[in-house]
């Protein structure tokens, strides 16, 4: 089951469209979820008792509109809705136990996506087993390419598996980006480095990782993109021609290191396409 969180924002609308299209490709049902968080209105000496009821009515309206949009886009997909009381991150973590993937808009009205680059990002993408897809609100042309970031750790393999499947379902090419950097001491005087050997070794890392999946996905065209660059810069540049960017939630050295820190924040702030964060 694919689960999409909605809060009435434009990016939530884009997330619904992305999620229902993916549900059709993956032959999965879609559940549209809205979180009703009463806690901000229950603080103080004189809480407004009418506000929670207003929130419930607004939640029902948001779900009706999202349901209509999903059925309009893909009438063959089974779609259900749920209005759940609780903090957005907690609701999503609980829903993720039944989910193939979670889909969210990149910015919102204070519900699921309002703090996506803060609490929801760290407390959902870093703590659920299924992929979390973050969708921007602007519509992009179809490029026919999926981008995935890899490093020298086995922790990136779940991201690769997800990316290969997405590429196969879409009939898209898969660009495998490996951004590498010399260690700081490499620039010290008198420390010899054979750049050709280093480049060969970095390409071999990609071949070793990709080789695990190519036999299972013979129809997917793989493009190896190995470059000496900052991970965020390399991934952001590649996303300009991508329909989806896939990254692992943690790993070692380049792309995977501290992904829910500087790399993930950089990618989510600057990328030009939807981003799927896949936990190792």
Does one domain contain both 77 and 174? no
Q: Are the CB atoms for 159 and 256 separated by under 8 Å?
A: no
From CA 246, how far away is CA 248, in angstroms rounded? 7
Query: Average pLDDT over the chain, rounded to whole?
Result: 81
| Averaged pLDDT for residues 21-35 | 97
Listed residues 108, 135, 162: the one ending a domain: 135
Q: Which residues pair with 30 in a beta bridge?
A: 2, 79
Average pLDDT over residues 19-36: 96
Mean pLDDT of 82-99: 89
Please check the confidence at residue 160 and state whether its pLDDT lies above 90. yes
User: What CATH number is associated with residue 266?
Assistant: 3.40.50.12370
More confident residue, 164 or 116: 164
Distance CA 230, CA 237 (A): 11
Question: Is 140 inside any structural domain?
Answer: no
Quick one: 103 and 186 in the same domain? no
Cα–Cα distance for residue pair 246/260, rounded to 1 Å: 13
Q: Count the Cβ atoms, other than its own, within 10 Å of residue 96.
A: 20
> Do 151 and 259 fall into the same domain?
yes
d(CA 224, CA 175) in angstroms, rounded, equals 6
Q: What does the pLDDT average to over 57-63?
A: 91
Residue 94 lies in a domain: yes
Q: Which residues of 13-26 are buried (b: 16+ CB within 10 A; e: fewer)?
A: bbbbbbbbbbbbeb
Residues 118 and 156 in one domain: no
Predicted confidence at residue 118, as pLDDT, reads: 43
With respect to residue 176, please indicate whether it lies within any of the assigned structural domains.
yes
pLDDT at 124: 67
Q: 39 vs 110, which has greater pLDDT? A: 39
Looking at the structure, tell me whether residues 181 and 270 fall in a common domain: yes
Please compute the mean of the pLDDT values over residues 25-33 and round it to a whole number: 97
Nearest in space to 133 (alpha carbons), one of 24, 252, 11: 11
**Six-digit token string for 65:** 């509109």
Name the domain boundary from 109, 135, 161.
135
Does residue 187 or residue 11 have the better pLDDT?
A: 11
- 266 occurs within a structural domain: yes
How many domains are contained in the chain? 2
CB contact set of 48 (below 8 Å; sequence gap of 6+):
41
What would the mean pLDDT of 84-106 be, rounded to a whole number?
A: 89
Q: Do residue 222 and residue 160 come from a single domain? A: yes
Q: Residue 14 domain-assigned?
A: yes
Shared domain check, 72 and 8: yes
What is the percent of the chain with per-residue pLDDT over 70, rounded to a whole number? 76
Q: Which helix (H) or strand (E) is 157 found in, with range?
A: helix 157-170
- Rounded to 10 degrees, the C-alpha dihedral 243/247/249/251 comes to 180
Q: Let me know whether 149 and 260 are in one domain.
A: yes
Lowest mean pLDDT among 125-129, 174-178, 246-250, 258-262: 258-262
What is the structure's pLDDT at 19? 98
What is the pTM (predicted TM-score) of this model?
0.84
Let me know whether 178 and 117 are in one domain: no
Q: What is the per-residue pLDDT for 255? A: 43
Q: For Cα atoms 124, 129, 131, give the angle at the middle one, nearest 5 degrees.
A: 75
Least reliable range by pLDDT among 35-39, 176-180, 208-212: 35-39
What CA–CA distance (Å, rounded) separates 246 from 28?
20
What is the per-residue pLDDT across 239-275, written as a single tens digit (0 to 9) for each?
999 999 998 876 443 343 334 446 666 677 778 799 9
Same domain for 10 and 127? yes
Q: Are residues 27 and 8 in the same domain?
A: yes
> Is 178 inside a domain boundary?
yes
Residue 25 lies in a domain: yes
- Domain of residue 175 covers 145-278
Q: Which residues are paired to 82 by β-bridges? A: 33
Locate tokens 């059709």: which residue?
A: 24
Residue ending a domain, among 91, 113, 135, is 135
CATH number of the domain to which 120 belongs:
3.40.50.620
Same domain, 129 and 160: no
């Amino acid at each position: 089951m694919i689960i999409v969180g909605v809060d009435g924002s434009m990016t939530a609308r884009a997330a619904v469209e992305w999620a229902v299209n993916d549900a059709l490709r993956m032959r999965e049902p879609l559940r549209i979820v809205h979180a009703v968080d009463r806690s901000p209105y229950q603080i103080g000496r004189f809480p407004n008792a009418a506000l929670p009821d207003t929130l419930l009515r607004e939640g029902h309206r948001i779900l009706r509109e999202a349901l209509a949009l999903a059925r309009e886009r893909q009438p063959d997909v089974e779609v259900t809705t749920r209005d759940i009381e609780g903090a957005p991150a907690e609701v999503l973590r609980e829903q993720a136990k039944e989910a193939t993937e979670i889909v969210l808009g990149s910015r919102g009205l204070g519900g699921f996506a309002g703090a996506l680059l803060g609490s929801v990002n760290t407390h959902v993408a870093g703590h659920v087993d299924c992929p979390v897809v973050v969708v921007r609100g602007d519509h992009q042309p179809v490029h026919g390419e999926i981008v995935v970031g890899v490093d020298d750790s086995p922790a990136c393999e779940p991201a690769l598996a997800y990316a290969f499947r997405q590429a196969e379902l879409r009939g898209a090419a898969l660009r495998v980006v490996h951004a590498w950097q010399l260690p700081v001491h490499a620039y010290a005087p008198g420390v010899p480095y054979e750049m050709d050997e280093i480049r060969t070794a970095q390409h071999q890392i990609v071949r070793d990782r990709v080789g695990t999946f190519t036999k299972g996905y013979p129809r997917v065209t793989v493009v190896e993109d190995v470059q000496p660059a900052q991970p965020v810069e390399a991934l952001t540049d590649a996303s300009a021609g991508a329909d989806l960017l896939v990254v692992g939630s943690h790993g070692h050295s380049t792309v995977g290191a501290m992904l829910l820190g500087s790399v993930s924040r950089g990618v989510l702030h600057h990328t030009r396409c939807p981003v799927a964060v896949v936990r190792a």
